[in-house]
């Protein structure tokens, strides 16, 4: 009987491959450039402008040298916050009202209990007894980064926004009603009129309303700072003032012992590595998600005329990368807290406990 199942699976696979190649050829004629059918509807494959800093959607003036306003990444963090709070409230509604139904979890409560249990398992494998105290930090970072990364893949994010003239020379697109359309416009010189301050160039570009939060260095830096500062806090809470013994070697220097000097240098290296953790947290998340966004833009712009379903492969990659980056951020937070709260004497206890697992 399993042979019949295998045969059916094989036939389905072959059918899918044949259908994809037929449709890609067909849709290639639909989508291709200036003559395709998609162009006649008004939909052209456009490469969005790739900008490193987040764009202001609602500019609110200046404060000294800084421009103040609401950026599109800020809007995405707000959406993620509201989503998480609503989900949390719904999932724990029965628990908070104290009804007996909460003992047998169903639906959303069940899903979130599963997720928190998995995260608790991961925390316990790294931290041991301290897992319950620290789980809130890791789980919040995980859920926020996960939802922020996955929200980037929804239709409408990065593609719906305000059409305006570009502020920098380069390649822009023409406008077809509410959509950007293909004849590209290359800009070298600004338009006449706006002489000082903001120069505007010919053509149009899109400023999205919502942009993935982790593509903004401010967001990733904020989460990294919270993670590292809380690590120091837990270190002080666990070890008291002895936590500073990691950075400032106090014991051996007084004897005139040459080893004391090496301890001093090691302490300075430890202090520098704390700052390196902030930088590495920031750029790891930022680089992965920003590169993923650029990859999706380029693949959507250049692959759709030839192979519509090719972009789905990169969507799958982005789903995976979003999940892995959230897991890695949380796990590294746990690991650094475990290392900070370990101290010198407990290292052997840690090693033996980890060996016993």
Partner 1 sequence: MDPVSMRQLAAGLAIGLGAIGPGIGIGLLANGALQAIGRNPEAAGQIQVNMILGIAFAEAIAIYALVVALLLKFVA
**Contacts with partner 1, residue ranges (CB under 8 A):** 50-52, 122, 125, 280, 283-284, 286-288, 290-291, 294, 324, 327-328, 331-332, 335, 357
CA distance 316 to 321: 9
CB of 125 to partner 1, least distance (A): 6
Nearer to partner 1 by Cβ, of 105 and 287: the residue is: 287
CB of 28 to partner 1, least distance (A): 29
| Residue-by-residue DSSP string for 248-270 | S--SSGGGT-HHHHHHHHHHHHH
CB of 327 to partner 1, least distance (A): 7
Residue 9 corresponds to which tokens in the numbers above? Answer: 């699976």
Nearer to partner 1 by Cβ, of 249 and 332: the residue is: 332
C-alpha 296: how far from chain center: 14
Nearer to partner 1 by Cβ, of 9 and 324: the residue is: 324
Query: Are the CB atoms for 325 and 145 separated by under 8 Å?
Result: yes
- Please give the torsion angle defined by the CA atoms of residues 136, 243, 351 and 114, in that order, rounded to the nearest 10 degrees: 0
Nearer to partner 1 by Cβ, of 109 and 220: the residue is: 220
Task: Give the residue from 206, 213, 196, 350 showing the smallest Cα distance to 288.
Answer: 213
CA distance 255 to 260: 8
CB of 292 to partner 1, least distance (A): 11
CB of 187 to partner 1, least distance (A): 16
CB of 114 to partner 1, least distance (A): 17
Nearer to partner 1 by Cβ, of 123 and 157: the residue is: 123
In the chain, which ranges are continuous DSSP H helix?
Answer: 2-31, 37-41, 72-91, 93-97, 107-127, 131-151, 217-239, 258-303, 310-342, 347-356
Nearer to partner 1 by Cβ, of 148 and 332: the residue is: 332
Nearer to partner 1 by Cβ, of 245 and 287: the residue is: 287
Please report how many Cα atoms fall inside a 13 Å half-sphere around the Cα of residue 278, on the Cβ side.
Answer: 17
Q: What are the backbone dihedrals phi and psi of residue 200, each rounded to the nearest 5 degrees, phi first?
A: -120, 145
CA distance 260 to 267: 10
CB of 280 to partner 1, least distance (A): 5
């Amino acid at each position: 009987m399993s042979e019949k199942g295998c045969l059916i699976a094989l036939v389905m696979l072959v059918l899918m491959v044949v259908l994809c190649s037929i449709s890609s050829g067909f849709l290639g004629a639909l989508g291709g450039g200036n003559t395709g059918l998609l162009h006649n509807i008004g939909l052209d494959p456009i490469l969005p402008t790739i900008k490193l800093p987040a764009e202001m959607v609602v500019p609110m003036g200046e404060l000294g040298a800084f421009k103040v306003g609401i950026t599109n990444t800020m809007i995405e963090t707000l959406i993620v916050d509201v989503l998480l709070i609503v989900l949390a409230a719904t999932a724990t509604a029965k628990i908070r009202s104290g009804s007996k139904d909460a003992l047998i979890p169903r639906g959303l409560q069940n899903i979130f209990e599963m997720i928190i249990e998995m995260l608790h398992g991961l925390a316990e494998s790294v931290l041991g007894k301290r897992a319950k105290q620290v789980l809130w930090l890791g789980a919040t970072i995980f859920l926020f980064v996960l939802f922020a990364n996955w929200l980037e893949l929804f239709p409408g994010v990065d593609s719906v926004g305000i059409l305006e003239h570009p502020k920098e020379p380069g390649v822009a697109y023409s406008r077809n009603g509410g959509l950007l359309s293909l004849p590209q416009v290359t800009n070298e010189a600004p338009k006449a009129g706006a002489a000082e301050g903001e120069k505007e160039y010919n053509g149009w570009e899109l400023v999205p309303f919502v942009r993935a939060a982790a593509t903004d260095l401010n967001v990733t830096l904020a989460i990294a700072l919270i993670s590292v500062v809380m690590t120091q806090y837990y270190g002080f809470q666990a070890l008291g003032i002895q936590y500073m013994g990691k950075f400032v070697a106090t014991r051996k220097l007084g004897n005139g012992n040459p080893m004391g000097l090496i301890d001093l240098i090691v302490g300075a290296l430890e202090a520098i590595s704390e700052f390196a953790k902030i930088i590495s947290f920031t750029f790891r998340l930022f680089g992965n998600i920003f590169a993923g966004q650029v990859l999706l833009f380029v693949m959507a712009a250049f692959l759709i005329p030839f192979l519509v379903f090719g972009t789905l492969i990169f969507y799958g990659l982005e789903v995976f990368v979003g999940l892995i980056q959230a897991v890695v951020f949380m796990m590294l937070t746990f690991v650094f807290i475990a290392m900070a709260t370990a101290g010198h004497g407990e290292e052997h206890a840690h090693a033996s406990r980890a060996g016993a697992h």
